[in-house]
Structure 1
Amino acid sequence: MAKIVLARIDDRLIHGQVMTAWLQYTGGNHIIIVDDQTAGDEFTKTIIKMAVPMGIGLDILTTTEAPTIINALSDDKKIIILTKGPSTYVSLIENGVSITDVIIGGMGANKNRSKFYKNISASEQEKTEFRAIISHNVGLKVHVIPDEKSVAVGNLL
């Protein structure tokens, strides 16, 4: 099975930090975006594909198909999984994807979210999902960029 080198929550999915800092830091060679809306939007998928550097694999998957595809990837894959929110990780974990750690990199403010930690916002439902991730013995921390210190989410709830 492939090795998951980064599992990140970021509502922006792919952007400069992921493409530069996190790819280099993790040595990832395959990005998997798990997001139902993105997987169903051909225009957005085309834009994302253009943002991924040459030599880096990319899959954009629905939450339903992701566990089977992730678990079937070859051993030479170093996977970066990107999702927009924690509910996707709860689903992946509960459907057999072996994830040891999840980081929160970017969860912006919106009408349903309030400030959680510095510039990270979360709704009450998302906080419940954070607890669910932690309950599966998966480490969960806020870690925006590799050079910053991470903060355990369990201490913030």
Structure 2
Amino acid sequence: MGSIVLARIDDRLIHGQVMTAWLQYTGGNHIVIVDEPTAADEFTKSIISMAVPSGIDLTIAGVEEGTEVLKNLPANDRVIILTKGPETYLQLIENGVPLEKIIIGGMGANKNRSKFYKNISASEEEKEIFRKIIEHGCELEVHIIPDEKAVSVKGIL
């Protein structure tokens, strides 16, 4: 079975930081984006696929299909999972996807969110989801780029 080398929350999904720093750091060869609206939008999927370097596989799926993909990874896959928010990871965990650690890399400000840690924002509902993820035995950290130190979310909550 393949391995999950990175599970990252980033509301931007694919961008330069993921494509350069995290791909190199993890040795990932397959990116799995789990996000219902993105999976349903052919235009967005085509734009994202153009941003992925050649030689890197890409799967864009909703939660149910994403669960099946992640439970049945080919042996040589080194997977980077990307979602826009923590609720998707909670659903994946509850669907039986084995996740040991999730990092928060980008959660921007909006009308429902307030500052959580440095440039990371979270709503009260998202903070509650963080707690539930941690209760499932999954480590949750803020870790923007590989060269920076990770900070445990448990200590921030």
Fold shared by both chains (TM-score > 0.5)? yes
Which residue does 2:23 correspond to in 1?
Answer: 23
Which residue does 2:11 correspond to in 1?
Answer: 11
Which residue does 1:75 correspond to in 2?
Answer: 75
Which residue does 1:137 correspond to in 2?
Answer: 137
Distance (Å, rounded) in 1 between the aligned partners of 2:93 and 2:76: 22
Distance (Å, rounded) in 2 between the aligned partners of 1:119 and 1:73: 33
Stretches of 4+ aligned residues off by more than 4 angstroms: none
TM-aligned CA deviation for residue 69 of structure 1: 1.4
Kindly provide the CA deviation profile for residues 25-57 of structure 1, in whole angstroms up to 9, marking residues without a partner as x: 000000000000000000000000000000000
Distance (Å, rounded) in 1 between the aligned partners of 2:65 and 2:23: 24
Unmatched tracts of structure 2, length 5 or more: none
Q: Size of the alignment, in residue pairs? A: 157
SS at match of 1:24: helix
Q: Does structure 1 residue 46 correspond to structure 2 residue 34?
A: no
Q: TM-score, normalised by structure 1?
A: 0.99
TM-aligned CA deviation for residue 75 of structure 1: 1.2
Unmatched tracts of structure 1, length 5 or more: none
TM-aligned CA deviation for residue 64 of structure 1: 1.7
Indicate conservation of the 8 Å contact 1:105/1:144, yes or no: yes
Q: TM-score, normalised by structure 2?
A: 0.99
